[in-house]
């Protein structure tokens, strides 16, 4: 048999050489066939990627102009975009990147920010808002997220059919479409999250080329994308936890003596990861806040959330115009920072005996009054060492000074003593003392300013103060826990808090009687007071965390994490009663239940595998086992970090909080699909490994799953895109789960 016969099992003129090699093939034959196989695989994946991108464009951009009205949280994030364009300071619990992206698109399209997205249902055309272009940003990011999902599965070594199926399940998910085509933040959040995952996989695949330029580049890209994710929403911390976990697992693997890595080189590995995965995300996060503060340099609606010192750093801040130094002899009113009640006294006395039988001093009442201050709310600041006369002229009150507060309307002095307060027996009663008691040390209070490191002088608006009783060390305090009964006119109780350092003890002087702060400061041409970036940054971080934890107000569409995977409750985003149109946020139940099954299967497999390993039993080929555990384990970690922490949150939660976890769930679904329906593995690590083998079963399973996903997508699409309007019978046909509460289903209104 001649050499040509040995070299070719098929005629040389065959258009596509066989991918099967035989023992008679030469090295050149094997190389040629493998090259042809790789080319076909790359070609099929290129076509597959193009197909899912095109499909995602169709599903995401479909009817993007509808409705031409403000939808759900566009009322907030559209408003925030306008504040950037007007450069007026606002407050929000989320970091700034996503909102700045919306503002940038608005700026490019000519939006001036004058319309503030006042209410859901407002027509954009009435206010000249380029809403289609602004919605195109999140829609475009969603298309890119689809491409990233395909890329993640591809770089993980999955077959083309698996990559396409996983991306297709995502692009046909009604919740992903509805949420990520509106002027909101979730599209940017998910895009940067997926970019982080993709970059980390590329970095991990270079583990045999450590410290090379590509290795450092992909590690840096991972860290930067992680910082971008965190800069969109604070839930980006879940991604930080996920990546941190897999990095620790990677380091643990490198510690294995069988890897043959020297201690010195291992130290370099740890240092490189520590430096890059900490400094880069932090730098990215800080950069966007630096830009945030640089743009929002004008006083705005967010001033009230920040400290007086922060407010004074903003141009045209009312607090700077209204702030004056407080001098001895000045007559001021005091407002409690936490409850906004004014300190007041009157001619009414405490009852001799309270309802519980306790005895009072029967002194004059001192209470906290809500609303506009009246004549009973004025107090003269008297220097304690100069009782009976005015303080030295032009002597400002300083941090640490001991003062008396003389009630102007009655000429009595504020006093506290060892008598139980009306509603909290453990706290001291506050009352007022006549002129004869003016030398009593029980009328002495020490001034503790909240920000004395940045100025020792007590000022209206700018400097809050704790007034701590010199004799008993209790602090002037009020609360809303229990209002006073009829004898106290329903006012707030004022008493002595035995914890003088409590943060709720601060009071702010709002006005000095007889002085026009605006005229005085305008004459001085008072400029904005500089405040360092880090001071602003840390104050805002603290406020964001505090106010986020306080988002506990009940909402008809809030839900708990336990119901999210089963998709038993949605959210009404928008509706039009006349046309019976509505947008109702719902996930595709096929995809979400597939995710749940995939999670259950993966966790069950891990348990079974560990039991088998303990018994020395091999359940399947080691390559397949290792691939499934590593890849699906990574996806399961991502899912768990983005889902489980919500169980510990006390704030109000909604279905859209589950979308990042659901995105990771689709990645896990793809891994499980390949494990169940495709024989063999393709590492994705090198092009010279054997290709995983698909079969009729593979395509049949993929087609069935995709057909079901497509059917539910089409069924729910009127609720996703808000059109067409649906009759009662049509809505009932789409109510697949009893917990779905659509609009326009009240038969009485038909």
Q: What is the pLDDT of residues 312-324, one digit of tens each?
A: 899 988 888 888 9
Report d(CA 25, CA 30) in Å as an integer. Answer: 7
Instruction: Of 82, 81, 109, give the one whose Cα is nearest residue 97.
Output: 81
Cα distances (Å, whole numbers) of residue 540 to 93, 151, 228, 431: 9, 37, 18, 38
E strands in 436-488 = 445-449, 464-469, 475-483
Q: Is 225 left (phi over 0), alpha (psi -120 to 50) or beta?
A: alpha
**Residue 239 near residue 227, CB atoms below 8 Å:** no
Taking residues 537-562, what's their average pLDDT? 94
Which residue did the predictor score with more confidence, 684 or 424? 424
Which residues make Cβ contacts (< 8 Å) with residue 534, sequence separation at least 6?
Answer: none
E strands in 484-593 = 492-497, 507-512, 571-576, 581-585
Q: CA neighbours within 13 Å on the CB side: how many for 421? A: 27
In DSSP terms, which residues pair with 582 in a beta bridge?
Answer: 575
What was the pLDDT predicted at 639?
98
Angle between helices 74-86 and 131-155 (to 10 degrees): 110
Residue 377: in which H helix or E strand, if any?
Answer: none
Work out the burial of residue 46: count CB atoms within 10 Å of its CB; fewer than 13 is exposed, 13-18 middle, 19 or more buried.
Answer: exposed
What was the pLDDT predicted at 27?
59
Instruction: Return the percent helix, strand and coil in the chain, to nearest 5.
Output: 50, 15, 35
What was the pLDDT predicted at 438?
82
What was the pLDDT predicted at 10?
38
Alpha carbon dihedral 36, 38, 44, 46, in 10-degree steps, equals: -120
Instruction: Of 635, 633, 661, give the one whose Cα is nearest residue 646.
Output: 661
Instruction: Give the confidence band of 708 by pLDDT, cuts at 50, 70, 90.
Output: very high
What was the pLDDT predicted at 334?
97
In DSSP terms, which residues pair with 583 in a beta bridge?
Answer: 574
CA 136 remoteness from chain centre: 22
**Residue 72 near residue 574, CB atoms below 8 Å:** yes
Report d(CA 61, CA 712) in Å as an integer. Answer: 19
Instruction: Give the confidence band of 14 by pLDDT, cuts at 50, 70, 90.
Output: very low
In DSSP terms, which residues pair with 349 in a beta bridge?
Answer: 364
Instruction: Of 108, 174, 177, give the one whose Cα is nearest residue 587.
Output: 174
- Answer yes or no: is pLDDT of 283 > 50: yes
Q: What is the pLDDT of residues 148-203, one digit of tens each?
A: 999 999 999 999 999 999 999 999 999 999 999 999 999 999 999 999 999 999 99
Domain limits, the chain: 42-292+568-733, 313-524+535-541
The phi and psi torsions of 357 (rounded to 5 degrees) equal 95, -5
Which residue did the predictor score with more confidence, 391 or 424? 424
Mean pLDDT (the chain, rounded):
91
Report d(CA 68, CA 606) in Å as an integer. Answer: 49
What was the pLDDT predicted at 187?
98
Residue 431: in which H helix or E strand, if any?
Answer: strand 428-433
* Region of poorest pLDDT, from 185-194, 404-413, 676-685: 676-685
3-class DSSP state of 481: strand
Taking residues 491-500, what's their average pLDDT? 96
Instruction: Give the confidence band of 518 by pLDDT, cuts at 50, 70, 90.
Output: confident
Which residues make Cβ contacts (< 8 Å) with residue 364, sequence separation at least 6?
Answer: 345, 346, 347, 348, 349, 410, 412, 431, 432
Q: What is the pLDDT of residues 656-674, one digit of tens each?
A: 999 999 999 999 999 999 9
Which residue did the predictor score with more confidence, 466 or 21? 466
- Answer yes or no: is pLDDT of 732 > 70: yes
Strands 492-497 and 342-349: unpaired
* Region of poorest pLDDT, from 190-204, 358-372, 489-503, 510-524: 510-524
What was the pLDDT predicted at 3?
43
Taking residues 430-445, what's their average pLDDT? 90
Report d(CA 280, CA 223) in Å as an integer. Answer: 6
Instruction: Give the confidence band of 83 by pLDDT, cuts at 50, 70, 90.
Output: very high
Report d(CA 304, CA 472) in Å as an integer. Answer: 33
Taking residues 478-507, what's their average pLDDT? 95
**Residue 450 near residue 459, CB atoms below 8 Å:** no
Cα distances (Å, whole numbers) of residue 508 to 160, 325, 448: 66, 12, 12
Instruction: Give the confidence band of 473 by pLDDT, cuts at 50, 70, 90.
Output: very high
Count the neighbouring beta carbons within 10 Å of the beta carbon of residue 364. 20
DSSP 312-369: HTSBT-HHHHH--B-BTT-EEEEEETTT-PEEEEEEEE--SB-TTS-B----EEEEEE
Instruction: Of 185, 321, 343, 204, give the one whose Cα is nearest residue 269.
Output: 204
Which residue did the predictor score with more confidence, 525 or 723? 723
- Answer yes or no: is pLDDT of 749 > 80: no
Instruction: Give the confidence band of 340 by pLDDT, cuts at 50, 70, 90.
Output: very high
Report d(CA 732, CA 275) in Å as an integer. Answer: 56
3-class DSSP state of 376: helix
Instruction: Give the confidence band of 24 by pLDDT, cuts at 50, 70, 90.
Output: low
3-class DSSP state of 60: helix
- Answer yes or no: is pLDDT of 223 > 80: yes
* Region of poorest pLDDT, from 247-251, 362-366, 690-694: 690-694
Instruction: Of 280, 273, 225, 307, give the one whose Cα is nearest residue 542.
Output: 307
Taking residues 386-398, what's their average pLDDT? 66
The phi and psi torsions of 489 (rounded to 5 degrees) equal 55, 25
How big is the chain, counted in residues?
750
- Answer yes or no: is pLDDT of 641 > 60: yes
Instruction: Give the confidence band of 11 by pLDDT, cuts at 50, 70, 90.
Output: very low
What was the pLDDT predicted at 17?
41
- Answer yes or no: is pLDDT of 385 > 80: no
Which residues make Cβ contacts (< 8 Å) with residue 496, sequence separation at least 6?
Answer: 416, 421, 427, 428, 429, 430, 469, 472, 474, 475, 476, 477
Instruction: Of 369, 336, 334, 337, give the one whose Cα is nearest residue 484.
Output: 369
Q: What is the CATH number of domain 313-524+535-541?
A: 2.80.10.50
% of the chain at pLDDT higher than 90: 78
Report d(CA 212, CA 207) in Å as an integer. Answer: 10
């Amino acid at each position: 048999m001649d050499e040509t016969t040995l070299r070719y099992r098929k005629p040389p003129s065959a258009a596509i050489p066989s991918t099967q090699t035989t023992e008679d093939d030469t090295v050149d034959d094997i190389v040629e066939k493998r090259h042809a196989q790789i080319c076909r695989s790359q070609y099929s994946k290129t076509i597959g990627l193009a197909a899912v991108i095109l499909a995602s464009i169709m599903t995401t951009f479909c009817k993007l102009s509808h409705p031409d009205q403000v939808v759900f949280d566009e009322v907030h994030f559209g408003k925030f975009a306008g504040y950037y364009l007007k450069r007026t300071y606002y407050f929000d619990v989320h970091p700034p990147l996503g909102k700045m992206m919306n503002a940038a698109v608005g700026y490019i399209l000519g939006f001036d920010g004058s319309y503030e997205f006042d209410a859901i249902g407002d027509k954009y055309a009435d206010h000249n808002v380029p809403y289609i272009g602004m919605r195109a940003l999140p829609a475009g990011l969603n298309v890119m997220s689809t491409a990233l999902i395909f890329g993640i599965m591809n770089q993980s070594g999955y077959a083309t059919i698996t990559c396409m199926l996983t991306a297709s399940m995502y692009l046909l998910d009604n919740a992903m479409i509805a949420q990520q085509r509106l002027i909101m933040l979730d599209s940017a959040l998910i895009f940067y999250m997926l970019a982080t995952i993709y970059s980390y996989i590329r970095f991990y695949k270079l583990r045999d080329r450590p410290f090379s330029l590509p290795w450092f580049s992909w590690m840096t890209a991972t860290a930067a994308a992680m910082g971008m994710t965190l800069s969109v929403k604070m839930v980006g911390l879940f991604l930080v936890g996920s990546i941190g976990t897999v990095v620790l697992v990677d380091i643990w693997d490198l510690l294995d003596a069988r890897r043959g890595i020297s201690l010195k080189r291992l130290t370099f590995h740890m240092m490189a990861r520590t430096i890059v995965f900490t400094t880069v995300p932090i730098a990215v996060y800080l950069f966007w806040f630096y830009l945030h503060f640089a743009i929002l340099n004008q006083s705005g609606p967010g001033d009230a959330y920040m400290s007086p010192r922060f407010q004074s750093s903003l141009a045209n801040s009312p607090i700077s115009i209204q702030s004056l130094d407080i001098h001895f002899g000045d007559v001021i009113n005091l407002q409690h920072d936490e409850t906004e009640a004014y300190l007041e006294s009157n001619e009414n006395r405490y009852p001799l005996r309270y309802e519980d039988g306790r005895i009072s001093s029967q002194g004059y009442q001192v209470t906290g009054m809500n609303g506009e201050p009246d004549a009973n709310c004025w107090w003269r600041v008297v220097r304690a060492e100069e009782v009976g006369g005015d303080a030295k002229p032009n002597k400002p009150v300083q941090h640490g000074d001991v003062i008396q507060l003389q009630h102007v309307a009655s000429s009595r002095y504020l006093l506290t003593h060892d008598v139980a307060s009306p509603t909290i027996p453990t706290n001291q009663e506050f009352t007022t003392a006549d002129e004869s008691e003016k030398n009593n040390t029980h009328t002495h209070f020490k001034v503790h300013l909240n920000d004395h490191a940045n100025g020792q002088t007590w000022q209206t608006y700018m400097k809050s103060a704790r007034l701590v009783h010199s004799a008993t060390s209790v602090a002037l305090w009020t609360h809303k826990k229990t209002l006073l009964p009829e004898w106290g006119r329903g006012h707030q109780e004022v008493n002595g808090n035995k914890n003088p350092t409590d943060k709720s003890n601060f009071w702010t002087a709002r006005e000095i009687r007889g002085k026009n702060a605006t005229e005085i400061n305008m004459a001085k041409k008072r400029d904005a007071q500089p405040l360092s970036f880090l001071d602003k940054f840390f104050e805002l971080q603290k406020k964001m965390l505090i106010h986020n934890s306080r988002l506990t107000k009940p909402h008809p569409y809030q839900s708990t994490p336990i119901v999210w995977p089963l998709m038993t409750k949605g959210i009404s985003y928008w509706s039009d009663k006349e046309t019976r149109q509505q947008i109702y946020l719902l996930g595709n139940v096929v995809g979400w239940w597939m995710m749940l099954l995939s999670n259950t299967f993966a966790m069950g497999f891990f348990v079974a595998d560990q039991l088998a390993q303990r018994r020395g039993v091999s359940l399947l080929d080691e390559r397949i086992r290792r691939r499934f555990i590593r890849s699906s384990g990574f996806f399961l970690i991502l899912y768990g970090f983005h889902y489980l922490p919500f169980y510990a949150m006390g704030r109000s939660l909604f279905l859209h909080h589950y979308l990042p976890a659901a995105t990771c769930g689709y990645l896990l679904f793809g891994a499980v699909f390949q494990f169940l329906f495709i024989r063999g593995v393709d590492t994705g690590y090198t092009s010279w490994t054997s290709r995983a083998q698909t079969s009729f079963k593979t395509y049949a399973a993929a087609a069935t799953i995709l057909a079901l996903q497509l059917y539910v997508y089409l069924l729910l699409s009127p609720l996703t895109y808000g059109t067409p309007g649906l009759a009662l019978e049509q809505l009932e046909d789409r109510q697949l789960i009893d917990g779905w509460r659509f609009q326009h289903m009240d038969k009485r209104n038909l």
